[in-house]
Amino acid sequence: MNDQRSPGRLLLFWLFGVSASSFVVLLVVLGVAVAVLGASFSGCQSASAESVSETSGPAPSAYALQTIPPERLRLYEGAGRRFDIDWSFLASIAEQECSTGDCAATNSAGCAGPMQIAYVRESECSRGAGPTLWERYAVNADPGHPLSVNDPADAIYTAARILREDMGAPPTGGTYAEYHEAACRYYGACGDATVAYAEEVMARAVQYGFTGSGAPTPSSQPLAQPVSDGCTAGASPTPVSSSRIVKIAESQIGQGEHPPGSNCTIYGPCEEWCALFASWVWIKAGVALEGSTAEYGYSGSLYTWAKEHGGRVLPATATPSPGDLVFYGSGPGPGESKHVGVVQQVFKDGRITTIEGNYAGHVSLVGPFSPSNPIGEQAAIYGYAQPPTSTNKR
């Protein structure tokens, strides 16, 4: 459980052209793709476009929340509501085309932007001299800014419109087969012998949370479970609360390393990961930790961050609150801090239960135990930290 940092540099993989069966394998090693996405977890934003539909589809799954940057998730959900299309399908199309990146250029085939929309007349993407899909369907998702195929909001909203009005995508709640057919049309064919485009799109959409009639069983059922505490396009910023932190931590109990013993998880780089988990929980709850979880791979860094950013740090003799982080070792300095967990519950007699990452290789519920005698831990408690915007009252 010692969480001393180890070197690790992870690569973002492209899924375009990967077989559906290979996608299943990629889910198993999801942890190796997460670190490069974590920098976007610190906040949420939405396009200013007005919603039309009341819902955009299912609640995001744990997999969706971990692999889709929050601002992009809000755009997918916002576009889904405006054009009445399942956001999980739209997001999967985006991942297939640009791996949730910007692709801020026009490619050699004449498609452009994050959704790879046909942009150049008389090109491979838009055969003939007539108007391109971009010219016909372009949506300015934020009228206060110039329309651009390279702007993620404009591209996502435009793609949602194209899929609904030109590609035959059904409204939110449509069947798996209907969305599969729309994916084929977006790519240009269903019978491609080299790329199982629609199959890959739909497998990922199911993993994101798609539940339309006829949907198969997710390839990774634990990661496909809905998590209601993700960023949603209709949500306004809310204060960080202890119950929110605890609920998010509880949703991860049982999550482990893939493969076992690898230190590879969905929470960050393939290294000792108790602090990666704790920072992931705080970030998901809305704590404004800068950067990705990889920045907090050493547990003492979380204690120091809270102390320097308006949070409260408490000694081992204090009574913590649910949602606080609990630190084990002799202090926050390098080599001193050994482990960190999330306080789940505080009992009247002073005992606590915690939720801890990298506890026997999993996210585990630990306790109840007395803070003065943390049986099962590798060191004594040296303190607690409360996030700066928490609504906890002491």
From residue 351, alpha-carbon distances to 76, 346, 379 in Å are 43, 6, 17
The reply to whether omega before 368 is within 30° of 0 (cis) is yes
3 occurs within a structural domain: no
For residue 102, give its domain range: 45-208
**Using CA atoms, how far apart are residues 94 and 67, in angstroms rounded to an integer?**
12
275 occurs within a structural domain: yes
325 occurs within a structural domain: yes
Q: What are phi and psi of 312, to 5 degrees?
A: -115, 130
Find the helix or strand (DSSP H, E) in which 329 lies: strand 325-329
pLDDT tens digits, residue range 362-377?
A: 999 998 999 988 877 7
pLDDT in the model for residue 100: 65
Same domain, 266 and 190: no
CB 243 within 8 A of CB 285: no
The pairing of beta strand 337-346 with beta strand 325-329: antiparallel
End residue of a domain, out of 162, 186, 208: 208
**Using CA atoms, how far apart are residues 18 and 199, in angstroms rounded to an integer?**
10
Same domain, 204 and 310: no
**Using CA atoms, how far apart are residues 15 and 195, in angstroms rounded to an integer?**
11
**Using CA atoms, how far apart are residues 215 and 224, in angstroms rounded to an integer?**
13
pLDDT tens digits, residue range 144-158?
A: 889 999 999 999 999
Which residues, listed in sequence order, are joined to residue 381 by a DSSP beta bridge?
328
Q: What are phi and psi of 25, to 5 degrees?
A: -65, -40
pLDDT in the model for residue 317: 92
284 occurs within a structural domain: yes
Same domain, 55 and 201: yes
CB neighbours of residue 276 within 10 Å: 33
* Token couple for 302: 């979380």
**Using CA atoms, how far apart are residues 200 and 20, in angstroms rounded to an integer?**
5
Q: What are phi and psi of 21, to 5 degrees?
A: -65, -35
pLDDT in the model for residue 275: 94
**Using CA atoms, how far apart are residues 298 and 67, in angstroms rounded to an integer?**
22
End-to-end CA distance of the chain: 30
Same domain, 204 and 252: no
For the chain, what's the residue count? 394
82 occurs within a structural domain: yes
> Which one, of 104, 122, 115, lies nearest residue 138 by Cα?
115
pLDDT in the model for residue 389: 59
Same domain, 378 and 308: yes
* Token couple for 200: 């890959």
232 occurs within a structural domain: no
Q: Which amino acid is at 369?
A: F
* Overall number of domains in the chain: 2
pLDDT in the model for residue 391: 44
The pairing of beta strand 111-112 with beta strand 337-346: unpaired
pLDDT in the model for residue 55: 65
**Using CA atoms, how far apart are residues 289 and 387, in angstroms rounded to an integer?**
9
Same domain, 61 and 203: yes
**Using CA atoms, how far apart are residues 267 and 270, in angstroms rounded to an integer?**
9
Same domain, 265 and 123: no
13 occurs within a structural domain: no
324 occurs within a structural domain: yes
CB 327 within 8 A of CB 385: yes
For the domain that residue 281 is a member of, what is the CATH number? Answer: 3.90.1720.10
End residue of a domain, out of 208, 234, 260: 208
For the domain that residue 64 is a member of, what is the CATH number? Answer: 1.10.530
| DSSP track, 56-106 | -SSPPBHHHHHHS-HHHHHHHHHHHHHHT--HHHHHHHHHHHHTTS---SB
> Which one, of 129, 202, 136, 199, lies nearest residue 165 by Cα?
136
**Using CA atoms, how far apart are residues 43 and 70, in angstroms rounded to an integer?**
7
pLDDT in the model for residue 62: 83
Same domain, 191 and 69: yes
pLDDT in the model for residue 48: 35
| pTM value surpassing 0.75 | no
Same domain, 265 and 173: no
Same domain, 194 and 300: no
**Using CA atoms, how far apart are residues 278 and 387, in angstroms rounded to an integer?**
12
**Using CA atoms, how far apart are residues 34 and 38, in angstroms rounded to an integer?**
6
Same domain, 202 and 297: no
CA angle centred on 86, ends 80 and 92, rounded to 5° = 100
Low pLDDT (below 70) residues in the chain: 1-55, 100, 191-194, 220-224, 227-240, 389-394
Same domain, 147 and 255: no
**Please, how many CA atoms are within 13 Å of residue 144, restricted to the half-sphere of its CB?**
3
pLDDT in the model for residue 360: 87
Q: Is 379 exposed, middle or buried (0-12, 13-18, 19+ CB in 10 A)?
A: middle
